[in-house]
Structure 1
Amino acid sequence: MRTIIYLAVVLAALALIAGCGGQKHTVGGAGLGGIGGGVIGSQIGSGTGQTAAIIGGTLAGAALGGYVGSYLDRMDEMDQQKMGQTLETKPDGETSQWENPNTDISHEVTPKETYKGDEGQYCREFTTEADIGGEEKTLYGTACRQPDGTWEIVQMD
């Protein structure tokens, strides 16, 4: 049983290392999601049922993490500027929308809650709805304002 867990962790770590290229968020997200899913699966059942839960959790976690990572990989400079502008200027609950002609992805970003982070910086929770190739996805995230005025996404689900 431990062998399967260790194997999942090693494979995910290799995926993270391989993620140093242009799709680093996709590969890294899949790796981290797979690790998380495998760990959660290891807590379910026993014997062959636990093995199936580990495998299923690893695959489901990798799929979800890979999707979130691919969204971050496809955000180009224009999207990052629009996201930052939205987080900087829009009040909670007001949606900003745009379509990026470079990536053919339309975005709707809505800040949900603004608060001060642990280090005193402003952070905002937000939702983003993206139409990627005709497929609608809703993601939830948190971004914090950096000292240089830019917004950095610190969490994305």
Structure 2
Amino acid sequence: MRLISLIVVGTTGLMLSACQSPTNQQVGIVGGSAAGALIGNQFGSGSGKVAATVAGGLIGAFVGNAIGVSLDAQAEQQAAQAQMQALENGRPGTPVAWNSGSTRGEVIPGPRYNVNAYECRDYTHEIWIDGQPQTARGTACRQPDGTWRAVD
């Protein structure tokens, strides 16, 4: 839990140091990072728990940045959970859906493939906010500790 607090405080401090109101994209990065870290913290044990927290924070930050919109906390959490579930267990081309009131989305994982010694997957994360679609595409690779990390 301490690592989550450090991530949130650190990214919030960076935003505040800019001496201006944060943009929706910045809010998305911080919120996504915090939600992803919280979800990632639920997996693993010992040093694996720390790695899962960091990986979750990175994936959450990617989703928050790529979408660039301000989702409420529940929607961010559901989006990050769906993305982790799609990467870990999703069948290629089969959407993993989530819904939070007027915001809904789905993560569509691609097939698994190897790059050097890493298992990787491409994915598409589509989010509809008030009927308007937003799409983020990315690649994540499984790390030696079993967590997934966005690589682009």
TM-score by length of 1: 0.48
Q: With CA pairs under 8 Å and 6+ residues apart, which has the higher RCO, 1 or 2? A: 2
TM-score normalised by L of structure 2: 0.49
